[in-house]
Amino acid sequence: MFSFDLLLDAVVIGVLLGCFYGAVSLGLSVSFGLLDVPHVAHPAFLVLASYAVYFLNEHYAVDPLLAGLLITPVFFLLGLVAYRLYYETFEKRGSDAAVRGIAFFFGVAFIIEVLIILQFGVDQRSVTADYIGRAWRLGDIRIPYRLLVAFAVATALTVLLTLYLSRTFMGRAIRAVAQDQEALRLMGANPIKIKQWAFGIATAVLGIAGALLIIVAPVDPTLDRAYIGRTFCVVVMAGLGSMGGTLVAAIILGVAETIVLTMFGASWAPAISFAMLLGVLAVRPQGLFGRRS
């Protein structure tokens, strides 16, 4: 039976859930969308960040969001190292770098997963904070605070990344390297260093996103597998490299998933993201907010 209240609730929760999807996809929008790096280890780095946040929260009682901020520089450095390794071993060697790069990043993802298991075991882990496990009452609707946190952080991250990429010299250089690497080289800039920097930014974003991941739900070492499809779907649907588009695409996905979950039966929900992706690509191959090449 149709209920307007349920539909409204589904839309509100869907928007918030979509923001969360957006936050965990923004890094990939830089690494895959702008740099063309087939970064399938993106969700593994995300889960690694969650465990780092868990460690700080569990042993030093650091607030999960603050912990996410604290690990950001470490993840930036991790990104620099990961890209340099990828570049030296795969990217500079030829035209099939992308295919071999996928194998490289799958390997990295498995190594991260095993390291987490060795260090933390296989059990689920979660964090504690005042905003976890409580809800804000808005009329008949109750909104979990943890989703409101995801909404705020995702919005802030999107704005910051958009401003960085459009207003700063390095940001514009990153966009330039995405458009024409050779032209940038002819102008005297080193595109590899710029790409390495951008990959560092993409990985640093995962510090905050990892905090959101463990705030929204408990994590386990293999959770990355659940996010590979979702994050790539959001980035491709948005149009490669569009930060604002990533957030909007994620919100569309979140709302669609939640409405299907609530109104039509949960079993259909996993198919929604890929059905929407196929639909979008059929109509706009460049994605919702991508530019025609």
CB 193 → another protein: shortest distance, Å?
A: 37
In the complex, the smallest distance separating the C-beta of residue 188 from another protein, rounded to whole angstroms, is 46
* Token pair belonging to 27: 């890094």
To the nearest whole angstrom, how small is the minimum distance from the Cβ of residue 10 to another protein?
A: 5
Nearer to another protein, 102 or 117 (CB): 117
Question: Cβ–Cβ contacts within 10 Å for residue 104, how many?
Answer: 21
Name the burial class of residue 229, with classes exposed (0-12), middle (13-18) and buried (19+) by CB atoms within 10 angstroms of its CB: middle
Which CB sits closer to another protein, 88 or 136?
136
Contact predicate 156/243, CB 8 Å:
no
Closest separation in Å from C-beta 15 to another protein: 12
Q: How far is the CB of 248 from another protein (least distance, A)?
A: 19
Which residues sit at the interface with another protein, rule CB under 8 A? Answer: 3, 5-6, 9-10, 13-14, 17, 20, 113, 117, 120-126, 128, 132-135, 142, 144, 147, 216-218, 220-223, 226, 258, 261-263, 265-267, 269-270
User: What is the nearest approach in angstroms of another protein to the Cβ of residue 279?
Assistant: 20
Q: Which is nearer to another protein, 195 or 230 (CB)?
A: 230
Closer residue to another protein, CB minimum distance, 17 or 198: 17
Q: Which is nearer to another protein, 99 or 263 (CB)?
A: 263
Closer of 85 and 136 to another protein (Cβ): 136
- Find all residues with CB under 8 Å of 185, minimum gap 6, and list them: 191
Least CB distance from residue 75 to another protein, whole Å? Answer: 22
Query: By C-beta, is 202 or 213 nearer to another protein?
Result: 213
